[in-house]
Amino acid sequence: MSSTTSSAARISSLDAAHLWHPYGAFPPSTEPLVVDQAHGARLVLADGRELVDGMSSWWATVHGYRHPVLDRAVTEQLSKMSHVMFGGLTHAPAARLAELLVEITPD
């Protein structure tokens, strides 16, 4: 068994023991496919096969996976902070986003 296969088997085992897949059959009729990476509209499975992600990860990746502009923006933001709660705190990205949303929202 290759290290990729054993790693995928371990991931499948951990998945079965600890994860719930809310949009799948219950009980599951097949094991989920183990995705190793994604780029553009494609998912690369642990065994090297590639699939087209026709669901676009529930429409959350409309621009595809690993889009260079989005990757740069995320990397830049993560170098500063990943997340800060709003419990008495704020930060520039949130304030700027709120301003932009107000600007594009009809009265």
Residues 45-54: tens digit of each pLDDT: 999 999 999 9
Same-domain status, 36 and 61: yes
* 77 plus 92 within the same structural domain: yes
User: Do 46 and 12 fall into the same domain?
Assistant: yes
Same domain flag for 48 and 84: no
Close Cβ partners of 37 (under 8 Å, ≥ 6 residues apart): 43, 44
Whether residue 79 is found in the same domain as residue 38? no
Which residue's entry shows tokens 């088997």? 9
Residues 51 and 75 in one domain: no
Q: Are residue 75 and residue 103 in the same domain, yes or no? A: yes
On whether both 52 and 75 belong to a single domain, the answer is no
Are residues 35 and 1 part of one domain? Answer: yes
d(CA 70, CA 43): 18
Give the residue among 60, 54, 6 at the shortest CA–CA distance from 34: 6
Pure H helices in 19-67 = 56-59
pLDDT in tens, 30-79: 889 999 999 999 999 999 999 999 988 887 888 899 999 999 999 999 99
Predicted model pTM: 0.72
**Domain encompassing residue 89:** 67-107
Pairing of strands 50-52, 35-39: unpaired
The position carrying tokens 């995705």 is 35
